[in-house]
Amino acid sequence: MTGNFFMIKYVKNYQEVYDQLSQILSSVKNEKDLMVDIELAKIEAQREQAQAISSLARDKKEKNGDDLKQLETLAEMLKAGIITQEEFDAKKKQILNIEKTDI
Protein backbone atom coordinates (compact mmCIF):
# COMPACT_ATOMS: atom_id res chain seq x y z
CA MET A 1 0.00 0.00 0.00
CA THR A 2 1.48 3.32 -1.04
CA GLY A 3 0.05 6.66 0.05
CA ASN A 4 -3.75 6.60 -0.13
CA PHE A 5 -3.91 3.90 -2.79
CA PHE A 6 -3.76 0.13 -2.65
CA MET A 7 -3.83 -2.58 -5.26
CA ILE A 8 -5.23 -6.08 -5.06
CA LYS A 9 -3.15 -8.40 -7.25
CA TYR A 10 -3.86 -11.98 -6.23
CA VAL A 11 -7.64 -12.14 -6.65
CA LYS A 12 -9.07 -13.50 -9.87
CA ASN A 13 -11.52 -10.62 -10.39
CA TYR A 14 -9.43 -8.02 -8.57
CA GLN A 15 -10.65 -5.12 -10.73
CA GLU A 16 -14.27 -5.77 -9.76
CA VAL A 17 -13.30 -6.10 -6.07
CA TYR A 18 -11.18 -2.97 -6.31
CA ASP A 19 -14.05 -1.04 -7.93
CA GLN A 20 -16.50 -2.19 -5.26
CA LEU A 21 -14.12 -1.28 -2.43
CA SER A 22 -13.40 2.10 -4.00
CA GLN A 23 -17.12 2.80 -4.29
CA ILE A 24 -17.71 1.80 -0.66
CA LEU A 25 -14.80 3.85 0.63
CA SER A 26 -15.80 6.93 -1.34
CA SER A 27 -19.33 6.76 0.03
CA VAL A 28 -18.24 6.64 3.67
CA LYS A 29 -18.42 10.01 5.38
CA ASN A 30 -15.77 11.05 7.82
CA GLU A 31 -16.53 12.53 11.23
CA LYS A 32 -16.21 16.11 9.97
CA ASP A 33 -18.75 15.47 7.18
CA LEU A 34 -21.17 13.97 9.70
CA MET A 35 -20.82 16.98 12.01
CA VAL A 36 -21.52 19.31 9.08
CA ASP A 37 -24.63 17.28 8.19
CA ILE A 38 -25.83 17.46 11.80
CA GLU A 39 -25.31 21.23 11.97
CA LEU A 40 -27.11 21.71 8.65
CA ALA A 41 -30.02 19.62 9.93
CA LYS A 42 -30.16 21.75 13.10
CA ILE A 43 -30.17 24.95 11.04
CA GLU A 44 -32.96 23.62 8.84
CA ALA A 45 -35.02 22.63 11.91
CA GLN A 46 -34.52 26.11 13.41
CA ARG A 47 -35.53 27.72 10.12
CA GLU A 48 -38.71 25.65 9.97
CA GLN A 49 -39.48 26.49 13.60
CA ALA A 50 -38.98 30.21 12.92
CA GLN A 51 -41.30 30.01 9.91
CA ALA A 52 -43.97 28.24 12.00
CA ILE A 53 -43.73 30.87 14.75
CA SER A 54 -43.87 33.66 12.17
CA SER A 55 -46.91 32.08 10.57
CA LEU A 56 -48.67 31.74 13.95
CA ALA A 57 -47.88 35.37 14.82
CA ARG A 58 -49.19 36.53 11.43
CA ASP A 59 -52.39 34.50 11.88
CA LYS A 60 -52.89 35.90 15.40
CA LYS A 61 -52.33 39.46 14.15
CA GLU A 62 -54.89 38.93 11.38
CA LYS A 63 -57.37 37.45 13.86
CA ASN A 64 -56.86 40.35 16.26
CA GLY A 65 -57.47 42.76 13.38
CA ASP A 66 -60.68 40.92 12.50
CA ASP A 67 -61.75 40.99 16.18
CA LEU A 68 -61.13 44.72 16.37
CA LYS A 69 -63.12 45.29 13.19
CA GLN A 70 -66.04 43.25 14.59
CA LEU A 71 -65.96 45.17 17.88
CA GLU A 72 -65.93 48.50 16.05
CA THR A 73 -68.95 47.41 14.02
CA LEU A 74 -70.74 46.27 17.17
CA ALA A 75 -69.96 49.59 18.88
CA GLU A 76 -71.44 51.44 15.92
CA MET A 77 -74.52 49.20 16.07
CA LEU A 78 -74.84 49.88 19.81
CA LYS A 79 -74.47 53.63 19.29
CA ALA A 80 -77.12 53.54 16.52
CA GLY A 81 -79.49 51.61 18.80
CA ILE A 82 -79.51 48.51 16.59
CA ILE A 83 -78.38 46.27 19.46
CA THR A 84 -78.66 46.57 23.23
CA GLN A 85 -75.79 46.96 25.70
CA GLU A 86 -76.38 43.39 26.87
CA GLU A 87 -76.15 42.08 23.30
CA PHE A 88 -72.99 44.11 22.76
CA ASP A 89 -71.42 42.78 25.98
CA ALA A 90 -72.33 39.18 25.17
CA LYS A 91 -70.92 39.39 21.65
CA LYS A 92 -67.79 41.19 22.91
CA LYS A 93 -67.15 38.36 25.40
CA GLN A 94 -67.63 35.82 22.62
CA ILE A 95 -65.25 37.62 20.25
CA LEU A 96 -62.58 38.15 22.90
CA ASN A 97 -63.15 34.67 24.33
CA ILE A 98 -63.78 36.08 27.82
CA GLU A 99 -65.49 34.14 30.57
CA LYS A 100 -67.18 35.87 33.49
CA THR A 101 -64.40 34.63 35.77
CA ASP A 102 -61.75 36.29 33.53
CA ILE A 103 -62.99 39.79 34.35
Q: Are 66 and 72 in contact (CB under 8 A)?
A: no
**Residue 8: per-residue pLDDT:** 56
How many other C-beta atoms can be found within 10 angstroms of the C-beta atom of residue 78? 17
Residue 72 neighbours by CB under 8 Å, 6+ apart:
none
Quick one: pLDDT at residue 2? 47
Enumerate the β-bridge partners of residue 5: 2
pTM over 0.75: no
pLDDT, tens digit (0-9, with 9 covering 90-100), for 20-44? 878 887 777 788 888 888 999 999 9
Segments of the chain with pLDDT less than 50: 1-2, 103
